[in-house]
Structure 1
Amino acid sequence: MSDVLTADKATLIDLSIGLEDDSPSEPMPPSIDSFGHEAGAQRLAETLRALGHDVEANDFPDGMGLAWEDLEVIPHAGTHIDAPWHYGPTVDGDPAKTIDEIPLEWCRGNAVVLDFRWMEPGEEISVTDLEDALDDLNHDLAPGEIVLIQTGADELWGSPEYLTEFPGMSADGTKFLVEQGVKVIGTDAYGFDKPFTTMGERYVESEDEDELWPAHFAGREVEYCQIEKMANLDALPRKTAIPIVAFPITIEGGSAGWVRPVAFIEADDGGSAA
């Protein structure tokens, strides 16, 4: 993997969705208030005057200061990694790690893409489904590999359907992957579990608490992180041995952190940048 990371001709494939103002694909969308260069001069001048310095906006070159943005956003917007703390206070009796406690070693390695685009929205991905997908690839999971669940839901980004049209992981499926030594599991869907509406409907019908976020709550038994809202898995030229880095931003005591996963593809492997 190190040779690929430093190769001048390696293709980098962005597997993320960024933060967008008021996106219909986010139930709690980011609010992004942007300030241009003229407004930036006004604000910087105000800051300097508050420090006791007589500076006006037109004192800046061409009357322009620095552009920036004010954001109001949760760490679960855009592509992000959920920490074990997100699922519960403990994992098998031990304190759950927050996002700033996640070992960086978990967040880089070779990825395996398991294709479930054939599944119907609202279905759960079972252990058998995972075993069949691995058999199709003739691949045995190794400790430290990163598993990416491909649903095709990223094609719906920008629409309300993004929130409802995808299959989700099961609790047993999640535990199965972690028990193979996998510490990070990603999905190109809005969430790791089946859609909120599906979980709500099934719980009301059955009154079975196991219908509510079962894959997330599996993290109370086995320690792992999940990447939600990935994208561009169809741009990868193969399904196994994909070098990937996905380091989260650290938020003190945080349940998640934004991340920009990137795959590194050898120049002779037929990959194309997303």
Structure 2
Amino acid sequence: MRIIDLSSPVDATAWEPDPVVHEVLSPAQGAVHMAEEMRKHLGVEFDPSVLPGGELLSLDTFTLTSHTGTHVDAPSHYGSVADYGRPRHIDEMPLDWFHRPGIRLDLRDQPVGAVGAEVLAKELTRLGRTPEPYDIVLLHTGASARVGTPAYFSDFTGLDGEAVDYLLDFGVKVIGTDAFSLDAPFADMIGRYRRTGDKGVLWPAHFAGRRREYCQIERLCLDDLPGPYGYTVSCFPVKLKGAGAGWTRATALLDD
């Protein structure tokens, strides 16, 4: 079996709208820290100098949002109420949604903004294939080439609400994108709203999840996939209790 990494990194040195903080205790600092914790919580005195080189274990502390790096959005991220009942958190989602055949749609020729169902239908016609129920649909916009730069958050292609409904009508439960968001960039949406006064252009892909239960994977890397289908996507989200999203190390699994 061949495993292809579909995930973008969590990198404190890269540009993020919500900066990542990465604090590191070295193995030597970790030894002192462990001695302090043992004294505080167990009443046990321990001299870390007896350890080889005075070192124990390193310890990393990250401060970041659940939407940093490649992550899965849960229905509760889209709003506090939904037409189908209480929106579920990421720890409540069925795991069998996240290990399914994948189908990649090529949207790299599309402009910045939101594309509609007709664009997806044209691409599926080109592929000669439509999604089966529970297939994971991946949108290849080319945005991952800009990961770690401000342009990653401003220049990409998203979906409108009708495009999301079009995919959900096939029985799809998980839609992934290599872009920052499944919706169009913020500036694009706000600009169209100011020009038209149409509230429907504001986050329609996310708000589709208030009508119909589904999950998004955002911030994937899809360039290394060998083709539009023929692999299983595995993207189990981290079990964050009561959270609207969870990080995932998304992969594609191919039989050699």
Shorter-chain TM range is: over 0.9
Corresponding residue to 1:118 among 96, 100, 109: 109
Q: How many residues align?
A: 255
Match of 1:166 among 156, 159, 172: 156
Moved more, 257-266 or 48-57: 48-57
Q: Rate the CA distance shift 1:201–1:22 in 2: closer, same or farther, 3 A.
A: farther
**Matched residues in 2 for 1:18 and 1:220: separation?**
29
For 1:99, which of 90, 98, 112 is the aligned residue?
90
Please say if 1:73 is aligned against 2:95. no
* Contact 2:235 2:248 survives alignment (8 Å): yes
What corresponds to 2:165 in structure 1?
175
- Mapped pair 1:138 → 2:128: yes
Aligned identity (percent) is: 38
Q: 1:216 aligns with which of 188, 206, 217?
A: 206
SS in 1 for 2:96: helix
1:243 counterpart = 2:218? no
Give a deviation string over 1:97-147, Cα, whole Å, max 9, x none: 11011000111110000000001122x121100100100100022101110
Compute the displacement of 1:169 (Å): 0.8
**Preserved CA contact (<8 Å) 2:189 2:202:** yes
Q: Give the C-alpha shift of residue 63 in structure 1.
A: 0.2
1:204 aligned onto 2:194: yes
State the Cα distance separating 1:56 from its structure 2 match.
Answer: 2.5
Give the aligned partner of residue 64 of structure 1. 55
Query: Which runs of structure 2 are paired with 1:2-81 in the superposition (5 Å)?
Result: 10-24=1-15, 26-50=16-40, 51-81=42-72
Deviations 1:148-191 (A, max 9, x none): 00000001112111111111111000011011100000000011
The 3-state SS of whatever aligns with 2:232 is strand
SS at match of 1:39: helix
CA contact (8 A) 1:32 1:71 kept: yes
Q: Are 1:253 and 2:233 matched, yes or no?
A: no
Tell me by how many angstroms 1:225 deviates.
0.2
Aligned equivalents of 2:50 and 2:191: distance in 1? 61
**2: distance between equivalents of 1:210 and 1:22?**
36
Aligned residues: CA RMSD? 1.2
Q: For residues 4 and 65 of structure 2, what CA distance do their matches in structure 1 show?
A: 25
Q: Which runs of 5+ in 2 are unaligned?
A: none
Shift of 1:22: 4.7
Check if 1:153 corresponds to 2:182: no
Conserved 8 A contact 1:20-1:29: no
> Displacement of 1:207 after TM fit?
2.4
- Structure 1 length-normalised TM: 0.90
Corresponding letter in the other structure for 1:60: L
Uncovered stretches (5+) of structure 1, i.e. residues with no partner: 1-9, 268-274
Matches of 2:59 and 2:120, distance apart in 1: 44
CA distance in structure 2 between the aligned counterparts of 1:14 and 1:35, rounded to whole angstroms? 28
